[in-house]
């Protein structure tokens, strides 16, 4: 079996995880001509390929709620095809892409371009996040209705802060007509100033401008208050601070429609890891203290934090091989997010059910996809994940056009063995 | 010049990563260099054929001249590179500029840069020895060494001596290098300034922080005043220079709180009447010009140590 075949295979001994109306259980599953054919115990093999998958998770596929595709405009760093190959190789079947392209996705023509190219490629479903404001400038509303028709699933201004509370309110209200949520990156830009490192002992030691935690959680509190006022739906893209998690927990108790995500990096690293000014550890929301990291893990375990996003940010040498405070923030993340979470499971910080919730179930709700069902006769969409598979993230395995990752060259555990999108095999990494 | 075997110095990126032995060895070496500087012919042949490049991406007169003089006194060839006249102002990245410079095969690059960590960035990517001449608000190790050299020269030892560092600690690389070095040599360091200028977690660099200057100066053996940069006056850090001088500046009256004969230091350039009163700057306790003199000797020691570690020196 190679990629792009219509699948005929029998998956033996995997555990079903993340399916709607399907309890977790270990069984055999047969896919014939790309469609679900049979579920049962000890199914007998016919002429199809048999995959021994004991210990693997048979999921409906991962979904990412925040990645940057760089197309249109910066295709030297990534494009929709390479992004989709990264996604498929990691078991993602849908990826929401941020509007910070060039031109920005603030018009239905750009939305249509993204959707059409991705459909033609057929490797991964790419879900455009439309701009909230014209050219991401935070001054006038972008045409959300037309972008919704063209396929935009959420609206936000990528990592640009929306300074005006009034505009944010109007945007959330307006988006309700199209049943869309608004996504923000909570930053009080005035207080954050040009901070690049969490304000604390490490920013002092490194002599870097501090970005206080308050510059995030003030904005979290504001965005939640505006969401309540507008009766809208809010998704907070990437949280990094303990108090931010506390604000979200309280908003959820109060019944406000808020969801939030974290990146794998904030679960794995802290500001102490910046001792050598690694540009690949510079993020829009900076790495914070161990106390903050523990609060993010706890928030993920108790469900306050809904999802883990890859925050895939491909950048080339010109943006990354520069001074720490001049480097653009972010790292490529699609191919390593699952492995990072597997490491956290290994360390006892998370359990497998949480990993499935934050990569499979919750992101679907955030981007507005229907709950995944395993219905016989229907085309199969799935990812077969091996939480223990060892692999090295290097030039041989990387599918991105960029290589800006703190995990470059490292041996990781956890990867996708097989990804199928609507009956078509889009990734197969199998000793058959 | 005999370099003790403990002093392995491929680069000098900061004082944070040096231990007390290494710092002491550098200071001892600087002492020998100072003796050379007091001869009639102030020149050694040791670094003949070694190329030292001063790569200053941020303005500096004193430090650049001091390094160039130090290199020349060791008979090295010195090339200067200034950001304003270079390709960096035409949009070339630091890495590309550095690689181009490296292609001209310098042995040691002395770098001054406004971004913290820039010397570390170069040290990981190009082959020559890197000497940090000030990076952002991070470190200025040769300034720290020359300050400590001057204190040691006057006080004998730093063990148990009280050193007050006063001013804008948040933006001072000089202060950070001094904190790392002074602590390792056993000094009791106090820092003071308005809370807007005292960064969080500064105590982890082994000092006691105050928001008024008097408790820091009281009984001090050394009072080091930091420069208040003009762009920080009248913004959100301090209301204006006059008020700063009244509450945080060093005048005769405040200096009386220190030990009799306490040293007055300043890394320069001074703002007379802001952080330091003119009569204190020019007074009997001031060692400000001796700091400048010692700077050349300290930089000779650093260049020599890096060259020797890399096997570049002329063997007799």
Our CA-based measurement puts residue B96 at a distance from the nearest CA of chain A, in whole angstroms, of 9
Across A205-219, B16-30, B55-69, B285-299, least confident range: B55-69
What's the rounded mean pLDDT across residues B63-92? 82
Q: Is B85 helix (H, G, I), strand (E, B) or coil?
A: helix
pLDDT at A422 over 80: yes
Check CB contact under 8 Å for B200 and A276: no
pLDDT tier for residue A12 given thresholds of 50, 70 and 90: very high
Optimal mutation site among B14, B116, B201, interface A, most CBs of chain A within 10 A: B116
* Nearest residue in A to B121, CA atom: A323
Count of pairs with CB atoms under 8 A, one residue in A, one in B: 69
pLDDT at A317: 86
A429 in reach of chain B (CB within 8 A): no
The answer to ipTM > 0.85 is: yes
pLDDT at B6 over 80: no
Check CB contact under 8 Å for A207 and B136: yes
Interface of B with A (CB under 8 A): 16, 93-95, 113, 115-118, 120-121, 125, 135-139, 170, 173, 176, 199-202, 204-205
Sequence spans of domains, chain A = 9-58+374-428, 61-367
For the segment B42-72, what is each residue's pLDDT rounded down to a tens digit? 999 999 999 999 999 888 889 999 999 999 9
pLDDT at B84 over 90: no
* Nearest residue in B to A212, CA atom: B200
Chain B environment of A322 (Cβ under 8 Å): 93-95, 121
Check CB contact under 8 Å for A323 and B200: no
What's the rounded mean pLDDT across residues A305-329? 94
- Are the beta carbons of A358 and A305 closer than 8 angstroms? yes
Chain A environment of B170 (Cβ under 8 Å): 204
Optimal mutation site among B16, B112, B115, interface A, most CBs of chain A within 10 A: B115
Neighbouring-strand partners of residue B310: none
* Nearest residue in B to A324, CA atom: B117
Q: Is B185 helix (H, G, I), strand (E, B) or coil?
A: coil
Token pair for B147: 């300050």
Chain B environment of A199 (Cβ under 8 Å): 200
pLDDT tier for residue B2 given thresholds of 50, 70 and 90: low
* Nearest residue in A to B179, CA atom: A205
- Are the beta carbons of A347 and A380 closer than 8 angstroms? no
Query: CA-CA distance, B262 to B222, in Å (whole number)?
Result: 5
A204 in reach of chain B (CB within 8 A): yes
Q: Who has greater pLDDT, B316 or B280? A: B280
- Are the beta carbons of B140 and B174 closer than 8 angstroms? yes
pLDDT at B235: 73
Our CA-based measurement puts residue B172 at a distance from the nearest CA of chain A, in whole angstroms, of 8
Our CA-based measurement puts residue B193 at a distance from the nearest CA of chain A, in whole angstroms, of 15
Q: Is B272 helix (H, G, I), strand (E, B) or coil?
A: strand
* Nearest residue in B to A197, CA atom: B116
Domains B20-139+295-309 and B141-292 belong to one CATH topology: yes
Closest C-alpha to B140, from A202, A207, A210: A207
Closest C-alpha to A237, from A221, A215, A260, A214: A260
To 10 degrees, the CA torsion angle through A313, A319, A321, A324? -80
Chain A environment of B126 (Cβ under 8 Å): none
pLDDT at A105: 98
pLDDT tier for residue A1 given thresholds of 50, 70 and 90: very low
Q: Who has greater pLDDT, B83 or A118? A: A118
What's the rounded mean pLDDT across residues B251-266? 97
What is the CATH architecture assignment of A9-58+374-428? Roll (2.30)
Check CB contact under 8 Å for A325 and B199: no
Check CB contact under 8 Å for A207 and B201: no
Q: Is B195 helix (H, G, I), strand (E, B) or coil?
A: helix
Optimal mutation site among B199, B203, B226, interface A, most CBs of chain A within 10 A: B199
What's the rounded mean pLDDT across residues A91-111? 98
pLDDT at A309 over 60: yes
- Are the beta carbons of A400 and A332 closer than 8 angstroms? yes
Q: Which of B117, B125, B170 sits opposite A324 (nearest CB)?
A: B117
pLDDT tier for residue B232 given thresholds of 50, 70 and 90: low
Chain A environment of B16 (Cβ under 8 Å): 205
Q: Between residues 247 and 276 of chain A, which touch chain B (CB distance below 8 Å)? A: 276
pLDDT tier for residue B316 given thresholds of 50, 70 and 90: low
Chain A environment of B116 (Cβ under 8 Å): 206-208, 277, 324-325
Mean pLDDT of chain A: 95
Q: Which of B115, B139, B176 sits opposite A325 (nearest CB)?
A: B115
Q: What Rg, from alpha-carbon coordinates, does chain B have?
A: 19
pLDDT at A310 over 60: yes
Q: Tokens 């000094």 appear where?
A: B187
A317 in reach of chain B (CB within 8 A): yes
Q: Domain A61-367 sits in which CATH superfamily?
A: Metal-dependent hydrolases (3.20.20.140)
Token pair for A90: 């990691």
Neighbouring-strand partners of residue A307: A261
A208 in reach of chain B (CB within 8 A): yes
Q: Which of A207, A276, A317 sits opposite B137 (nearest CB)?
A: A207
pLDDT tier for residue B300 given thresholds of 50, 70 and 90: very high
In a 10 Å sphere around its CB, with 0-12 CB exposed, 13-18 middle and 19+ buried, how is residue B91 labelled?
A: exposed
Q: Is B223 helix (H, G, I), strand (E, B) or coil?
A: strand
Identified catalytic residue from A311, A351, A386, A394: A311
pLDDT at A134: 96
pLDDT at B3 over 80: no
pLDDT tier for residue B87 given thresholds of 50, 70 and 90: low
* Nearest residue in A to B14, CA atom: A206
Q: At what angle do helices B62-73 and B141-155 cross, to 10 degrees?
A: 80
Query: CA-CA distance, A9 to A53, in Å (whole number)?
Result: 12
Check CB contact under 8 Å for B136 and A210: no
First-to-last C-alpha distance (Å) of chain B = 11
Q: Where are the beta strands (DSSP E) in B220-305?
A: 222-225, 263-265
A324 in reach of chain B (CB within 8 A): yes
Q: Which of B93, B202, B205 sits opposite A321 (nearest CB)?
A: B93
The 3-state secondary structure of chain A, one letter per residue: CCCCCECCEEEEEEEECCCCCCCCEEEEEEEECCEEEEEECCCCCCCCEEEECCCCEEECCEEEEEECCCCCCCCCCCCHHHHHHHHHHCCEEEEEECCCCCCCCCCHHHHHHHHHHHHHHCCCEEEEEECCEHHHCCCCECCHHHHHHHCCCEEECCCCCCCCHHHHHHHHHHHHCCCCEEEECCCCHHHHCCCCEECCHHHHHHCCCEECCHHHHHHHHHHHHHHHHHCCCEEECCCCCHHHHHHHHHHHHCCCCEEEEECHHHHHCCHHHHCCCCHHHCCCCCCCCHHHHHHHHHHHHCCCCCEECCCECCCCHHHHCCCHHHCCCCECCCCCHHHHHHHHHHCCCCCHHHHHHHHHHHHHHHHCCCCCCCCCCCECCEEEEEEEEEEECCCCCCCCCCCCCCCCCCEEEEEEEEEEECCEEEEECCCC
Share of chain B above pLDDT 70, in %: 93
A207 in reach of chain B (CB within 8 A): yes
Share of chain B above pLDDT 90, in %: 80
Our CA-based measurement puts residue B288 at a distance from the nearest CA of chain A, in whole angstroms, of 25
Across A332-341, B11-20, B25-34, B117-126, least confident range: B117-126
For the segment A141-200, what is each residue's pLDDT rounded down to a tens digit? 999 999 999 999 999 999 999 999 999 999 999 999 999 999 999 999 999 999 999 999
What's the rounded mean pLDDT across residues A189-218? 96
A286 in reach of chain B (CB within 8 A): no
Residue B82: its H or E element: strand B77-82
Q: Active site includes A278?
A: no
Check CB contact under 8 Å for A321 and B95: yes
pLDDT tier for residue B7 given thresholds of 50, 70 and 90: confident
A4 in reach of chain B (CB within 8 A): no
pLDDT at A3: 44
Fold of B141-292: Rossmann fold (3.40.50)
For the segment B166-189, what is each residue's pLDDT rounded down to a tens digit? 999 999 999 999 999 999 999 999
Q: Which of B16, B115, B205 sits opposite A326 (nearest CB)?
A: B115
Chain A environment of B115 (Cβ under 8 Å): 323-326
Chain A environment of B196 (Cβ under 8 Å): none
What's the rounded mean pLDDT across residues B14-33? 96
CATH code for the part of the protein at B20-139+295-309: 3.40.50.1370
Query: CA-CA distance, A237 to A308, in Å (whole number)?
Result: 9
pLDDT at A432: 41
Our CA-based measurement puts residue B79 at a distance from the nearest CA of chain A, in whole angstroms, of 23
pLDDT at B99: 84
- Would you give the distance in Å from CA B84 to the centre of its chain? 23
Chain B environment of A213 (Cβ under 8 Å): none
Our CA-based measurement puts residue A239 at a distance from the nearest CA of chain B, in whole angstroms, of 22
Chain A environment of B204 (Cβ under 8 Å): 201, 204-205
- Give whole-number Cα distances, B309 to A251, A425, B4, B36, B75, in Å: 60, 58, 11, 21, 17
pLDDT at A106 over 90: yes
What DSSP letter does each residue of B117-134 carry, written as one string? THHHHHHHHSSSEEEEEE
What's the rounded mean pLDDT across residues B214-235? 88
Sequence spans of domains, chain B = 20-139+295-309, 141-292
Query: CA-CA distance, B253 to B64, in Å (whole number)?
Result: 35
Across A53-57, A202-206, A322-326, least confident range: A322-326
């Amino acid at each position: 079996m190679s990629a792009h075949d219509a699948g005929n295979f029998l998956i033996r001994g995997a555990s079903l995880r993340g399916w709607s109306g399907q309890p977790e259980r270990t069984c055999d599953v047969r896919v014939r001509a790309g469609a679900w054919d049979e579920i049962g115990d000890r199914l007998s093999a016919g002429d199809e390929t048999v995959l021994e998958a004991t210990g693997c998770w048979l999921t409906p596929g991962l979904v990412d709620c925040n990645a940057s595709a760089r197309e249109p405009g910066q295709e030297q760093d990534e494009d929709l095809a390479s992004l989709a190959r990264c996604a498929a190789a990691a078991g993602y079947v849908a990826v929401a892409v941020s509007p910070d392209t060039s031109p920005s996705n603030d018009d239905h023509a750009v939305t249509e371009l993204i959707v059409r190219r991705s459909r033609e490629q057929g490797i991964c479903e790419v879900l455009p996040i439309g701009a909230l404001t014209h050219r991401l400038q935070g001054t006038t509303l972008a045409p959300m209705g037309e972008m919704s028709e063209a396929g935009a699933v959420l609206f936000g201004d990528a990592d640009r802060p929306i300074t005006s509370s009034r505009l944010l309110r109007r945007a959330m209200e307006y988006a309700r007509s199209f049943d869309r949520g608004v996504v923000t990156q909570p930053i009080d830009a005035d207080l954050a100033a040009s901070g690049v490192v969490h304000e604390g002992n490490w920013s002092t030691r490194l002599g870097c401008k501090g970005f206080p935690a308050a510059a995030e959680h003030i904005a979290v509190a504001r965005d939640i208050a505006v969401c309540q006022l507008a009766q809208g739906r809010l998704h907070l893209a990437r949280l990094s601070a303990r108090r931010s998690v506390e604000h979200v927990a309280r908003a959820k108790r109060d019944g406000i429609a808020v969801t939030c995500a974290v990146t794998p990096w904030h679960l794995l690293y802290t500001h102490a890891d910046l001792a050598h000014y690694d540009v690949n550890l510079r993020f829009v929301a900076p790495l914070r203290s161990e106390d903050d990291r523990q609060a993010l893990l706890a928030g993920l375990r108790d469900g306050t934090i809904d999802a883990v996003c890859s925050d895939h940010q491909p950048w080339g040498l010109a943006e990354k091989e520069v001074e720490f405070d001049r480097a653009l923030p972010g790292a490529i993340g699609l191919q390593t997010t699952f492995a990072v979470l597997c490491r956290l499971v290994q360390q006892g910080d998370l359990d497998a059910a949480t990993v499935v919730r934050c990569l499979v179930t919750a992101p679907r709700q955030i981007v507005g996809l229907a709950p995944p069902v395993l219905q016989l006769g229907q085309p199969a969409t799935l990812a077969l994940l091996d939480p223990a598979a060892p692999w090295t993230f290097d030039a041989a395995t990387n599918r991105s056009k960029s290589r800006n990752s703190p995990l470059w060259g490292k041996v990781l555990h956890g990867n996708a063995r097989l990804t199928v999108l609507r009956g078509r095999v889009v990734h197969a990494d199998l000793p058959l | 010049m005999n370099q003790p075997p403990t002093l392995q110095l491929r680069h000098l990126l900061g004082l944070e990563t040096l231990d007390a032995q290494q710092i002491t060895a550098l200071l001892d070496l600087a002492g020998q260099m100072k003796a050379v500087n007091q001869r009639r012919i102030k020149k050694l042949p040791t670094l003949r054929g070694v190329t030292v490049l001063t790569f200053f991406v941020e303005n500096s007169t004193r430090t650049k001249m001091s390094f160039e003089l130090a290199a020349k006194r060791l008979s090295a060839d010195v090339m200067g590179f200034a950001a304003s006249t270079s390709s960096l102002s035409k949009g070339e990245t630091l890495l590309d500029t550095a690689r181009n410079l490296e292609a001209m095969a310098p042995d040691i690059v002395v770098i001054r840069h406004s971004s913290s960590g820039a010397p570390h960035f170069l040290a990981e990517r190009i082959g020559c020895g890197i000497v940090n001449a000030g990076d952002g608000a991070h470190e200025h190790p040769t300034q720290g060494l020359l300050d400590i050299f001057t204190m040691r020269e006057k006080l004998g030892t730093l063990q148990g001596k009280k050193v007050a560092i006063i001013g804008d600690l948040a933006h001072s690389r000089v202060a950070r290098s001094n904190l790392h070095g002074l602590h390792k040599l056993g000094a009791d360091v106090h820092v003071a300034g308005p809370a807007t200028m005292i960064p969080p977690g500064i105590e982890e660099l082994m000092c006691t922080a105050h928001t008024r200057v008097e408790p820091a100066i009281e009984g001090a053996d050394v009072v080091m005043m930091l420069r208040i940069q003009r762009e920080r006056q009248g913004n959100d850090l301090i209301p204006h220079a006059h008020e700063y001088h009244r509450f945080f500046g060093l005048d005769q009256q405040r200096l009386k709180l220190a030990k009799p004969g306490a040293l007055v230091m300043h890394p320069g350039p001074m703002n007379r009447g802001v952080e330091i009163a003119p009569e204190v700057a020019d007074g009997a306790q001031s060692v400000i010009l001796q700091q400048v003199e010692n700077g050349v000797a300290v930089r000779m020691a650093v260049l020599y140590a890096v060259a020797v570690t890399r096997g570049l020196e002329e063997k007799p």
